[in-house]
């Protein structure tokens, strides 16, 4: 039972570098989400997708891009990393809209930008 798998689990980037975080789910969920978690701020939605080929902006989308070319994968890209993007990133998926059905979360990616 893999559920939601995030790759990598840890990463250190230098300012200005780029990277892609991969999220894969094996539950055939339509909805997928990328959140960032910062101390005292809870989880904030970066981008989300309501199905293959679709993406939409969340609460804090600036500096990030996403793609959902396959239903099971949701990629989060940082084109030019900044120290303000140091955070823990969580991917989640749900069968229906994130308000009637529960979401399943990955274990997180701890990103440090120096």
Partner 1 sequence: AQSVAQPEDQVNVAEGNPLTVKCTYSVSGNPYLFWYVQYPNRGLQFLLKYITGDNLVKGSYGFEAEFNKSQTSFHLKKPSALVSDSALYFCAVRDSLGSARQLTFGSGTQLTVLP
Region near partner 1 per CB under 8 A, out of 15-23, 28-36, 61-69, 74-82: 28-36
Peptide bond into 8 cis (omega under 30): yes
Q: Work out how close the CB of 80 gets to partner 1 at its nearest, in angstroms, rounded to a whole number.
A: 26
What is the per-residue binding string for partner 1 in 50-89, x denoting contact by CB under 8 A?
A: x-------x-------------------------------
Token code pair at residue 28: 């055939």
Long-range contacts of 86-89 (CB under 8 A, 24+ apart): 86/111, 86/112, 86/113, 87/36, 87/37, 87/38, 87/111, 88/36, 88/37, 88/38, 89/6, 89/21, 89/34, 89/35, 89/36, 89/37, 89/46
Note whether 23 binds partner 1 by CB under 8 A: no
Of 22 and 43, nearer to partner 1 (C-beta) is: 43
- Number of residues in contact with partner 1, rule: CB under 8 A? 26
Residues that bind partner 1 (CB under 8 A): 4, 31, 33, 35, 40-45, 48, 50, 58, 90, 92, 97-100, 102-108
């Amino acid at each position: 039972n893999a559920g939601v798998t995030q790759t990598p689990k840890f990463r250190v980037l230098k300012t200005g570098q780029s990277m892609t975080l991969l999220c894969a789910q094996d539950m055939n969920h339509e909805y997928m989400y990328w959140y960032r978690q910062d101390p005292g701020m809870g989880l904030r939605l970066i981008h989300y997708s309501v199905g293959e080929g679709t993406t939409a902006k969340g609460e804090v989308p600036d500096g990030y891009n996403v793609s959902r070319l396959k239903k099971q994968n949701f990629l989060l890209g940082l084109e030019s990393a900044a120290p303000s993007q140091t955070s823990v990133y969580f991917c989640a998926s749900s069968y229906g809209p994130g308000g009637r059905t529960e979401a399943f979360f990955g274990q997180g990616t701890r990103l440090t930008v120096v």
